[in-house]
């Protein structure tokens, strides 16, 4: 269980790094998706959502370490794929 929690935490650090790169990029697609939500709720709402996903995955891992690890691992993989697609995309 503890190894799963540590692995989820390390993946969470990577997810936060990718999320910050997303938010600091000047990509029009990212700005178009985030701007309406940020205008209504606040500029840091996406970071709060990312944190809640991490805490939720770690909470799931305390009960069922395999399910928590697989679910957050899949989220990290898809997040990495989206990150690489956005950063390699030409305007």
Express each pLDDT in 22-53 by its tens digit: 888 888 888 888 888 888 998 889 999 999 99
Q: Is the pLDDT of residue 91 over 70?
A: no
Range(s) of the domain holding residue 16: 2-88
Place of tokens 């997040």: 79
Q: Residue 13: which of 72, 84, 89 has the closest Cα? A: 72
- Split into its structural domains, the chain has a count of 1
């Amino acid at each position: 269980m503890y190894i799963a929690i540590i692995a989820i935490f390390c993946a969470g650090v990577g997810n936060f790094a990718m999320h910050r790169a997303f938010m600091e990029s000047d990509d029009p697609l990212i700005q178009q998706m985030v701007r309406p939500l940020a205008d209504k709720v606040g500029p840091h709402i996406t970071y709060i959502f990312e944190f809640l996903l991490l805490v939720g995955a770690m909470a799931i891992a305390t009960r069922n370490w395999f399910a928590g690890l697989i679910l957050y691992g899949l989220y990290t993989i898809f997040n990495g794929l989206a990150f690489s697609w956005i950063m390699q995309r030409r305007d």
